[in-house]
Structure 1
């Protein structure tokens, strides 16, 4: 649980708010106390969705449909108001972790507990389908764990079977990785779709990993439709039935009745794996220890009643008739909300100010900068950050002063873990900016997550970071799973190849496989593609001669070692190949630059001396340091300004909720637009999301264009 933000209302629809349970693209979920004194989970829908009449109609209709449900394994709706300015609904509160959190904390489930979990969820779906509903979003985050069994929640996108959809046909609704192939294709779904999702959930619980992998939504959806699920390590007692659930053909999936027979009877005793009963009990104890939420003061007058008019944010204006609020029987409807977010915990009360340095002085916020101080990239980051800090502290009307604090990771994963822990342990540090490489950045993630301090990663793009949406870390660039955006855009918009060869250097094949998949599986490159795999100790000569003989339109090097890339460039030149060649920033090195004249390189950093959109920053950097900004300086400047954007919205609230503020809305910097997918929380790899193109000229790289300008300028 997180404490309330200063901008949160005190009362919604007569329910006093006590804490935040989570926030997402649709709204905020609060822990609240009903007029009768019971704890509940209350979800308030964001105003931008409420402005859509179609959304209100769907919200109203699905609330009414959910009233049909009677199930042991779902939670009842206590009240809902579709007509409020910000529609809301309140459900019974389940004070346990989600299945997603349980798997992340404790790992895969044993066979006995998996069968009991499957038995309860199959019974829950049987009740849903018997009422003529399809859940459409069965996933670990929507399954809460209580001492007496699981609860299936969040019917916010449920649909009645046979009822015309209020959303446009062809749209994808649900959570990638758990939705069915028919959902991924935007087609009409039935009960069999929920069966597929249940198979995904059970396989995830059995193995500890999503059955269709991680990464960007597009890649996960593609694998869901076209590839077989990863069922390695699924226990034999479960593998057969899960495999049937995951059939691409809905007609071949088992019915819910068959699932109940296959899983057997649910038994409450020992249904949770070792370690989880204590966690569930601790969560329940925290709620029992909470004080009764007190009313707020409006214009100096205490608010004593439970009326809707207590706060404007409650929805209806003062004096609005309470008959607009539809109250449902406590034991009747089910329209659940996610009541426990991954890694959430309880902090009661508002935190004091960060402190001042004297009478009338502003409070200060400390930003940590983590990286290898011996690296030129760290110096560039530090200087860019210092420019941003100086500009902020010179600005009139600011709410706080900024302080920059650095920590040296020594360029090792072990050092990154220790340095991140030191920064995160300092209560003054509001946020950490990680400047490390793919070899060091992942190591800092866990340390920041344990301390509940937000971390922004500027430079790293390894696939190992595909799972940071389960931590306190946010990326400010896409991982390599999304593919190299600048060079793919160059090939598609400028070269327009009929046939491209991807030279896959297997020296670090696991790290570069996603780049190959983005082209061969996800078809992010137009035209046909051939893959030439080169063994770690292999020579590029034979492959280069085949490429030259075919007269390919383009070559893309998928590798991360500069010397190997240099050998490839030399082999292509000696074979007589003169077509365009592309690679990403990881190949840059002196030997490569000496061999790769004319190659196009995609990077995550701009050239502040050549990019016209960063002139003001470049001038400020020159004025302060007497030199032009080096690579990554402008990106660090943006990271600090993005942090300030979140800290300003945060006000006096605790640093633990800063990540939620940063996720709330897109933000435009000088190098990129920063936005995150509302469901997956992955960095959205848009055209203006910080990808840049360079060309190798005279043993150096020369700036060509931003990715979003490629094809609009002469390249």
Structure 2
């Protein structure tokens, strides 16, 4: 939760607003007091949507349908007004964590609790379908956990059964990883679609991971439609039933009535796994202790006035620590707004900036830097990070001093895991920055997750990291699942090929397949694509001759071995092909640079000597180290600044709530922008803001442009 902004209204429709639960593209959700004194969640629609008469009609129809819900495990609609200047909808408030948060904090659920969860959710969907609705967004973030049972929330995209979709044909509405194959294809959906989503939820709760994996939405949607779910570790008591729920054909799925029969009655006595009842009770108690809200500045009382009232009400008894800052965990992501799935937080007042009372010194925040000290990239990271640390520590009015602590992982996966564990075990370390490679970075994820310390990965882009957003690790760049952003943008904006050949080197097929899929399945390239697969024991001569004979407009090399990429470049040149050729940074090496004159290369790092947007950083680096920044120095600088952004917001509880603060809002650095999508529960570096294009010239690579500048008119 966040306190109200001065621009927020104090009341809507007779409901006194108390705090913000979240905000998204559609509007803002507030915690509010009803005229009768009960807490509720009130969603106010943004004016740009309210100005659309068609939207008002849809909003009116859907709130009327939702108001008919009386199922035990749904959240009732208390009131709504589709004709207000900003339409709004109020529902009962559930002060508990979401299932998504519970899975992150507590792990998979035992069989008995899964059966009770399934029984309640099946009953909830039965009530939804009986009212003529299809929920269409059943997922862990939309299931709140109360002491007496779960509550299914968010009917913001529900549709009446049989009513024509209100979106264009082919659109996808819902959350990737939980929506049905027919929903993923943008087709009409009915009650069986919710059954599929329920199967995804139960399997996730049983195993602790989404059944169709994680990563970019396109990859998850593809797996939902074309591949089998990952049901390893689903208990035997649920396995067969969940498999039927996840049938690709809607007609092969069980009905909700059959599910209710199979799950049996909900058992309130055993429904929450060990550890969760205390969390649920604590959340409920904290909300009940809140004072009755007063007005915002529009009512003549400042927001800080009510903030002080809340802080005073939450002060500990005499003898306890007296820091004004309190971070109270609160659940209730309601109605599909952008609320972080792993926890939202009360933040009132400021912590004592002087740290230990009477010393006049500031508290310390320690950031660990993990990597191979013999790797030049580690040195670049360390120097970029040191510039950011010095810059922060020289800022007047800062709340803390920053300390950088480096740890050598020896360049091996085993060493990375051990070094990460050492950093994470140090209670002073608030965050770990991983500068390792695709071979070492994944090994550090488990150690950081076990210690509940946040980790930011800067350099690695292996598909093995697609799932880390469900742990404590966040990626500061896209993985290969997203495709190579800079070169795809170059092809689409500059070359505009009618036909392109993707040369797929099967030497590392598991990794490079994602790049191929991004073009052939997910259509991230505008032109037609032909794939030439080359086995590890074959050369590229025959494929190059076919490409040259066809006269294709461009060639994209999908592979990661510099020597193999060099052989492809040589074969194309000798076959007489003269069109544009592109690849990503993994092909860079001496032999490739000697063979690939003119090739375009996409990278995740900028060139500090040529990128005009980072002149100030380059100057600071030169002043400190008497040399220009090497590749990855600016990205490390950005990562430290992003960490400071979160640490400043987290205050005294830096380590325990840092990840939530980092997810709270989009952040723009000098090299990239990162953001969290609450609907898909996915954190990512924006594809075009953090990708860069280079050209091979005279056996070296020279900076061309940032991806987001490619194709823009030059001044």
5 Å-filtered alignment, 1:107-506, equals 107=108, 117-144=117-144, 150-161=150-161, 172-181=172-181, 183-184=183-184, 189-205=189-205, 209-224=209-224, 226-230=225-229, 233=232, 245-246=245-246, 255-260=255-260, 263=262, 265-266=264-265, 268=267, 277-284=273-280, 286=282, 293=289, 295=291, 306=292, 308-309=293-294, 353=352, 356=355, 360-506=360-506
1:175 to partner: Cα distance: 1.1
Report Cα offsets for 1:507-555 as digits up to 9, x if no partner. 3222222111111111112333232333344433443344344443332
Q: CA deviation at 1:606?
A: 0.7
The residue number in structure 2 matching 1:327 is none
CA distance in 2, matches of 1:653, 1:204: 29
Q: 1:657 to 1:164 in 2, by over 3 A?
A: farther
Counterpart residue number, 2:564: 564
Q: 1:649 to 1:168 in 2, by over 3 A?
A: farther
Alpha carbons of structure 1 residues 597 and 463: separation in structure 2 relative to 1, 3 Å: same
Count of residues in Structure 1 that have an aligned counterpart in Structure 2:
675
User: What SS does the corresponding residue of 2:533 show, helix, strand or coil?
Assistant: strand
Pairs within 5 Å for 1:548-587: 548-587=548-587
Q: Is residue 98 of structure 1 aligned with residue 99 of structure 2? A: yes
Moved more, 241-250 or 598-607: 241-250
Alpha-carbon distance in 1 for matches of 2:593, 2:408: 29
> Structure 1 residues 134 and 293 mapped into 2: Cα distance closer, same or farther (>3 Å)?
same
Q: 1:163 to 1:397 in 2, by over 3 A?
A: farther
1:591 aligns with 2:591: yes
Alpha-carbon distance change, 640 to 348 in structure 1, aligned in 2, over 3 angstroms:
closer
Instruction: Encode CA deviations 1:461-509: one digit per residue, 9 max, x unaligned.
Output: 1112222222232222111100001111222223333333322223322
Shift of 1:90: 6.3
Deviation at 1:616, TM superposition (A): 2.2
| Kept after mapping to 2: 8 A contact 1:77/1:91 | yes
TM-score normalized by the length of structure 2:
0.78
Q: 1:259 to 1:103 in 2, by over 3 A?
A: farther
Whether the 8 Å CA contact 1:147–1:277 is kept in 2: the answer is no
Query: Measured at CA, do residues 310 and 293 of structure 1 come closer, stay the same or move farther in structure 2, by a change above 3 Å?
Result: farther
Residues 412 and 440, structure 1, Cα contact 8 Å, conserved in 2 = yes
Higher relative contact order (CA 8 A, sep 6+): 1
Task: Provide the secondary structure at the position in 1 that maps to 2:517.
Answer: helix
Q: Which ranges in structure 1 are unaligned for 5 or more consecutive residues?
A: 296-305, 319-333
Q: Can you list the C-alpha shifts for 1:589-644, whole angstroms capped at 9, x where unaligned?
A: 22222232222211000111111222222222212211111101111222222233
Q: Separation in 2 of the partners of 1:216 and 1:589?
A: 29
1:658 deviates by 2.9
CA–CA distance in structure 2, aligned partners of residues 635 and 518 of structure 1: 25
Change (3 A) 1:88 1:447: farther
Cα deviation, 1:72-126, whole Å, max 9, x if unaligned, reads: 333557899998999785646475761674489545876x876665444322211
Contact 1:99–1:145, Cα closer than 8 Å, also in 2: no
Q: Secondary structure, in 3 states, of the residue corresponding to 2:676? A: coil
Gap change, CA 1:409 and 1:29, over 3 Å in 2 = farther
- Distance change in 2, residues 1:369/1:87 (3 Å): farther
SS state at 2:455 partner: strand
Tell me: CA distance 1:161–1:267, structure 2 relative to 1, closer, same or farther (3 Å).
closer
Secondary structure, aligned partner of 2:552 = coil
**Structure 1 residue 584 displacement after superposition:** 0.9
Structure 1 residue 237, shift from structure 2 partner: 8.0
Instruction: Encode CA deviations 1:635-669: one digit per residue, 9 max, x unaligned.
Output: 12222222333334445553433333333333332
Tell me which moved more, 631-640 or 141-150: 141-150
Name the structure 2 match of 1:689.
689
* Alpha carbons 2:98, 2:141 under 8 Å: kept: no
Deviation at 1:438, TM superposition (A): 1.6
Change (3 A) 1:413 1:105: farther
Residue number in structure 2 paired with 1:532 = 532
Compared with structure 1, are the counterparts of its residues 485 and 92 closer, same or farther at alpha carbon in structure 2 (3 Å cutoff)? closer
TM-score by length of 1: 0.78
**Larger CA deviation: 560-569 vs 694-703:** 560-569
- In structure 2, distance between residues paired with 1:441 and 1:361: 36
8 Å Cα contact 2:211-2:231 kept in structure 1 = no
Change (3 A) 1:36 1:407: farther
Change (3 A) 1:146 1:132: same
Give the superposed CA RMSD.
4.7
Structure 2 residues not aligned, in runs of 5+ = 304-332
